[in-house]
Amino acid sequence: MGGMKNDLGKLKGIGPKRTAMLDKIGVDSVKELAHRNADSLTETIRKRHGAAAGVNQKTVQGWITLAKRADR
């Protein structure tokens, strides 16, 4: 992926657990998250981590929106 330090934790709603969860599926930076599709990312999270991940499409879309704003 980006090869830079994981900076996802600077986004509201993404703490250490969710940062680690996203990192495990290849989302390791705000820039990477900004380029993702909410539906496919939500599906990937559910397949990898199940319902216990506690995320839905609306939450993921919110993260992506924040990432796009931060990546400007």
Separation of alpha carbons 34 and 53, rounded Å: 20
Domains in the chain, start-ordered, CATH in brackets? 8-70 (1.10.150)
- SS3 string of 17-67? HHHHHHHHCCCCCHHHHHCCCHHHHHHHHHHHHCHHHCCCHHHHHHHHHHH
pLDDT of residue 38: 98
Evaluate whether 11 touches 48 at the Cβ level (below 8 Å). Answer: no
How much is the pTM? 0.87
What digits encode the pLDDT tens for the residues 6-51? 899 999 999 999 999 999 999 999 999 999 999 999 999 999 988 8
Assign 4 a pLDDT band (cuts: 50, 70, 90): low
